[in-house]
């Protein structure tokens, strides 16, 4: 830890839980978490932040949230939630809530863009010009970084809602309330809960369902590799982080799907390209911290 580094608050909003982190560089000093629930959680979090601010004044806040998010700074809806099916959250002014209450720079991006930036800064994607972070949790998302900047375009990547080629014989209708059997609807936490009679966390590692999940994710990875050519594709999130064997299955199946077309991307190379977060379970929380660091730098 460099004592000269400013204290930054990172707020990660996930599909299931929200995490507030006080950090100096990548060193985590305090952390609190809450169930995501309704937007009332914003008040609970900002009350806690006001308490932190009195005890350990921080210099900036970074918000890393599930999407879709409006991120066009020139638009009236900057920092508002888009059309999320999460009850109460659609249209919520998540950026404004914190920017109005705290007199410090506030940055905002998607949870996966933040995590990708954190992996590029401190984790598994250091030194990569083009890299991505995928979360396989309650939702499925992708943050894409090109030359140190998270990709924003018309909106931002929402690659978890792509439809992939289905596995032969898999008749599950899908659990995405918007698309049914998009990738999130096939392998996100609620999809696993709907596919299995037991909770996702309790499904044994040798259950055949994991072969389907790995094959579905490999279809997606092969498409991502062909579409954006990442040098590193980090995969985190609650579904995958406690199932490390899935990554090897995904890499090997991706190699079969690519079938030698990109000649140096064989299975061994893909096992180095598709990896677990270097920051482990802190990729998301530190992603929010990086967004706060960047907001502070931009305000200087
Ligand atoms: P969030 O989506 O809030 O960011 P996570 O990335 O931790 O949070 O993902 C939470 C999801 O991960 C839940 O839907 C849960 O069912 C699932 N999950 C948690 N542990 C496991 C596990 N061991 N195996 C499979 N799925 C799990
Ligand atoms: Zn969807």
Domain annotation covers residue 78? yes
**Ligand 1 center to residue 138 CA distance, Å?**
6
Number of domains observed in the structure of the chain = 2
pLDDT tens digits for 103-154?
999 999 999 999 999 999 999 999 999 999 999 999 999 999 999 999 999 9
Q: How confident is the model at residue 70 (pLDDT cuts 50, 70, 90)?
A: very high
Same domain, 19 and 131: no
Domain annotation covers residue 207? yes
Q: How confident is the model at residue 4 (pLDDT cuts 50, 70, 90)?
A: confident
The tokens for 133 are 């972070």
112 lines ligand 1 (CB under 6 A): no
Same domain, 215 and 154: yes
Atom 23, ligand 1: which residue's CA is nearest?
A: 201
The average pLDDT across 179-199 equals 96
Provide the pLDDT for residue 85: 85
Q: Which pairs from 92-97 meet CB under 8 Å and 24+ separation?
A: 92/39, 92/42, 94/13, 94/39, 94/42, 94/63, 94/65, 94/69, 95/63, 97/42, 97/46
Count the Cβ atoms, other than its own, within 10 Å of residue 270: 25
Domain annotation covers residue 1? no
189 lines ligand 1 (CB under 6 A): yes
Share of the chain above pLDDT 70, in %: 99
Same domain, 272 and 131: yes
Q: Which domain holds residue 19?
A: 7-113+281-299
**Ligand 2 center to residue 263 CA distance, Å?**
32
Instruction: Inform me whether the pLDDT recorded for 1 exceeds 70.
Output: no
292 lines ligand 1 (CB under 6 A): no
- List C-alpha distances in Å: 16 to 30, 38, 180, 262: 20, 11, 20, 37
Domain annotation covers residue 268? yes
- Residues 288, 275: Cα–Cα separation, whole Å: 21
Domain annotation covers residue 119? no
CATH number at residue 24: 3.30.420.40
Domain annotation covers residue 198? yes
Helices (H) and strands (E) in the chain, counts: 10, 10
173 and 274 Cβ atoms separated by less than 8 Å: no
Same domain, 140 and 270: yes
Same domain, 246 and 293: no
The minimum-distance atom of ligand 1 relative to the CA of 190 is: 14
**Ligand 2 center to residue 239 CA distance, Å?**
17
Same domain, 288 and 252: no
Same domain, 156 and 199: yes
Same domain, 51 and 105: yes
The average pLDDT across 36-64 equals 97
Radius of gyration, CA atoms only, the chain: 19
283 lines ligand 1 (CB under 6 A): no
Domain annotation covers residue 2? no
Same domain, 12 and 149: no
Atom 4, ligand 1: which residue's CA is nearest?
A: 14
Q: How confident is the model at residue 242 (pLDDT cuts 50, 70, 90)?
A: confident
Cβ burial 183-207 (10 Å sphere, 16+ → b, else e)? bbbbbbbbbbbebeeeebeebeeee
15 lines ligand 1 (CB under 6 A): yes
> What predicted TM-score, i.e. pTM, was given to this entire model?
0.96
The minimum-distance atom of ligand 1 relative to the CA of 188 is: 14
Provide the pLDDT for residue 244: 83
Same domain, 223 and 166: yes
Same domain, 145 and 96: no
25 lines ligand 1 (CB under 6 A): no
Instruction: Inform me whether the pLDDT recorded for 2 exceeds 90.
Output: no
**Ligand 2 center to residue 203 CA distance, Å?**
23
Same domain, 165 and 199: yes
126 lines ligand 1 (CB under 6 A): no
DSSP code at position 71 = -
- Residues 132, 220: Cα–Cα separation, whole Å: 13
Domain annotation covers residue 105? yes
The tokens for 290 are 């990086």
């Amino acid at each position: 830890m460099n004592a000269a580094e400013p204290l930054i608050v990172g707020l990660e909003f996930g599909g299931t839980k929200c995490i507030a982190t006080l950090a100096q560089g990548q060193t985590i000093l305090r952390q609190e978490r809450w169930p995501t629930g309704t937007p009332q959680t914003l008040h609970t979090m900002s009350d806690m932040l006001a308490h932190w601010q009195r005890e350990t004044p921080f210099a900036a806040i970074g918000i890393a949230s599930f999407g879709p998010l409006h991120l066009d700074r020139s638009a009236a809806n900057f920092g508002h939630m888009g059309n999320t099916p999460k009850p109460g959250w659609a249209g919520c002014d998540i950026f404004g809530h914190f920017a109005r209450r705290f007199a410090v720079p506030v940055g905002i991006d998607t949870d996966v863009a933040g995590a990708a930036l954190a992996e590029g800064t401190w984790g598994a994607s250091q030194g990569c010009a083009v890299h991505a972070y995928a979360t396989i949790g309650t939702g499925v998302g992708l943050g894409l970084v090109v030359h140190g900047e998270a990709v924003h375009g018309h909106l931002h990547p929402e690659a978890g809602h792509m439809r992939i080629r289905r596995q032969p014989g898999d008749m599950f209708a899908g659990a995405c309330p918007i698309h049914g059997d998009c990738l999130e609807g096939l392998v996100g936490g609620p999809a696993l809960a709907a596919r299995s009679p037991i909770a996702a966390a309790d499904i044994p590692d040798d259950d055949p369902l994991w072969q389907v999940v790995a094959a579905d994710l490999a279809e997606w990875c092969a498409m991502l590799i062909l579409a954006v050519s990442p040098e590193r594709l980090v995969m985190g999130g609650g579904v995958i982080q406690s199932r490390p064997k899935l990554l090897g299955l995904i890499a090997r199946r991706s190699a079969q799907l690519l079938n030698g077309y990109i000649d140096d991307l064989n299975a061994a190379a893909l096992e180095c390209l598709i990896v677990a977060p270097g920051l482990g379970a802190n990729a998301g929380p530190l992603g929010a911290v990086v967004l706060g660091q960047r907001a502070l730098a931009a305000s200087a």
